[in-house]
């Protein structure tokens, strides 16, 4: 009976990820349609800096690696190692989010706000939605770190952390598409 409930949770989580995939597909489509609609405002070529985006990407890719190592440690029942690696993942994720927020603040300071053009509106919506998901993932990660600190490694507790890792990897894949489609096109 317990196994069936776990299967339903895993299936439900995959359904959730697929709805998020649809959401991001719509946001990517809107961005691709509107990315040349700057209407005299700053264009993507004028705004995006390669070094900032590269730093964000390296932070997020590294956080995904440490998250994978944490899951490997959980498979070995090494809770303290997993907690340490999830803590590293959390710090790297905070670094990513901090860079993204500072990038947004710099754009706003330059007058490149979502109200300025369709391009900026679609950019802030797509990248901001990803950032919101990162924030939720970071909160979830804190909960899982505390849960691992105070509860035993039961199959149910491990399954929650596995779902967190799946969510974090999903966000990494979405960021790779953002890096390629949003920023990569600007540097061509």
The set of residues, in sequence order, having a beta carbon less than 8 Å from that of 176 and lying 6+ positions away, is 57
In a structure prediction context, what are the per-residue pLDDT tens digits for the chain, which is 188 residues long?
A: 455 556 677 889 999 999 999 999 999 999 999 988 888 888 888 889 899 999 999 999 999 999 999 999 999 999 999 999 999 999 999 999 999 999 999 999 999 999 999 999 999 999 999 999 999 999 999 999 999 999 888 888 888 999 999 999 999 999 999 999 999 887 76
pTM, to two decimals: 0.92
Q: From CA 108, how far away is CA 100, in angstroms rounded?
A: 12
For the structural domain made of 2-37+49-187, what CATH number should be given?
1.20.120.80
CB contact at 8 A, 50 and 187: yes
């Amino acid at each position: 009976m317990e196994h069936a409930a776990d299967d339903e949770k895993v299936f439900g989580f995959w359904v959730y990820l697929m709805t998020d995939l649809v959401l991001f597909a719509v946001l990517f489509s809107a961005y691709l349609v509107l990315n040349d609609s700057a209407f005299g405002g700053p264009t993507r070529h004028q705004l995006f800096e390669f070094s900032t985006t590269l730093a964000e990407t390296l932070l997020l890719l590294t956080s995904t690696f440490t998250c994978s190592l944490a899951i490997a440690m959980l498979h070995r029942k090494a809770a303290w190692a997993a907690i340490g690696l999830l803590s590293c993942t959390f710090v790297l994720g905070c670094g990513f989010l901090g860079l993204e927020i500072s990038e947004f603040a710099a754009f706003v300071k330059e007058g490149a706000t979502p109200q300025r053009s369709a391009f900026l509106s679609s950019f802030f919506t797509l990248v901001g939605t990803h950032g919101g998901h990162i924030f939720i993932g970071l909160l979830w990660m804190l909960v899982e770190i505390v849960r691992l600190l105070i509860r035993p490694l039961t199959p149910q507790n491990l399954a929650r952390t596995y779902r967190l890792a799946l969510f974090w990897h999903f966000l990494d894949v979405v960021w790779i598409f953002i890096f390629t489609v949003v920023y990569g096109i600007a540097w061509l």
